[in-house]
Amino acid sequence: MSSVLRIALQKSGRLSEDSYQLFKECGIRFDYGTGKLKSVSSNFPAEFLFLRDDDIPGYVEDGVADLGIVGENVAVETGRPVQTVHKLGFSKCRLSIAIPRGSDWTGIQSLDGKNIATSYPNLLGNYLAGQGVRAEIHEISGSVEIAPSIGLAEAVCDIVSSGSTLMSNGLKEVETIFRSEAILISRSELDADKQALVDKLLFRIKSVQAAKNNKYIVLNAPNHALDQITSLLPGMKSPTVTPLATEGWSSVHSVLNENEFWENIEAIRAAGAEGILVIPIEKMIY
């Protein structure tokens, strides 16, 4: 192969399993497991590097890796001049400020003159500056939630998914300052061969994402209600309608977006549709 993409992935943690699953769904096979530092795909021109998440933007900037999957929060916090190629839609979380449960909160100005512990000093500092709040930021690399109980800070700013970790440490979430998800990043300049490989990879990723956001619908409809029912099922271009053996009825096949699913299904049933089948889609190619 004249060109091979080098892709940096988190070696362990929140993003690693979801990243591996994405490539698996894209039909790209490579060995993945604890202790591995790199792996070469057996069916796609790509080599995977397994790194600490904080290091991935730097490796991409320096050209050691062509692409990387990293949390948007990490990419912004590190400030490395890398490009966001595509948002991947998984590992969604938020960076939030939390305070002890019994503390008063009247808004972000409550933090003026206070101490805040965080692993994200740049994101937090920029947010506070934009709000006109002056606070002392204490950068710590782990166990941020313990800071108020040991007297280090009156508040913390940390990544939140469900909020259970905050609750178990006697904290309450009061302000979200940044929303994040996994993103695909690249270095600023790729040669034509590598850019062509990136385009092929993006085609696969977008096909997998589109499939997850849609469902394949098959139903039986009375012919007198076909216009009403098909108007609720736009599909990729238009629904497929075929006559049934039972006179006056037709089978309708279409695709329905997940976000519109329940509302439209209720309307379709009310219009007279019967025998509705909902089928997952593995890939969706436009």
pLDDT at position 221, please?
Answer: 95
pLDDT at position 44, please?
Answer: 96
Model pTM score = 0.84
pLDDT at position 188, please?
Answer: 83
pLDDT at position 2, please?
Answer: 63
Going from the N-terminus, what domains does the chain have, and what CATH number goes with each?
5-90+181-211 (3.40.190.10), 93-179 (3.40.190.10), 214-280 (3.30.70.120)
pLDDT at position 258, please?
Answer: 85
- Residue 44, class by beta-carbon neighbours within 10 Å (0-12 exposed, 13-18 middle, 19+ buried)? buried
Bridge partner residues of 280 (DSSP): 215
Q: Where are the beta strands (DSSP E) in the chain?
A: 5-10, 38-40, 46-51, 67-71, 83-87, 93-100, 115-118, 136-139, 155-160, 171-180, 182-186, 214-222, 240-243, 249-257, 274-280
When pLDDT is averaged across residues 156-163 and rounded to a whole number, the result is 88
pLDDT at position 1, please?
Answer: 45
Q: Is the pLDDT of residue 163 over 90?
A: no
- Cβ atoms of 217 and 278 closer than 8 Å: yes
Residue, of 189 and 286, whose pLDDT is higher: 189
Neighbours of 195 (CB within 10 A): 15
Highest mean pLDDT among 161-165, 233-237, 238-242: 238-242
Within the chain, residue ranges assigned H as helices are 16-25, 56-61, 72-78, 121-130, 164-168, 192-212, 226-231, 261-270
Spatial CB neighbours of 237, under 8 Å, sequence gap ≥ 6: none
> Token pair of 229, please?
């029912």
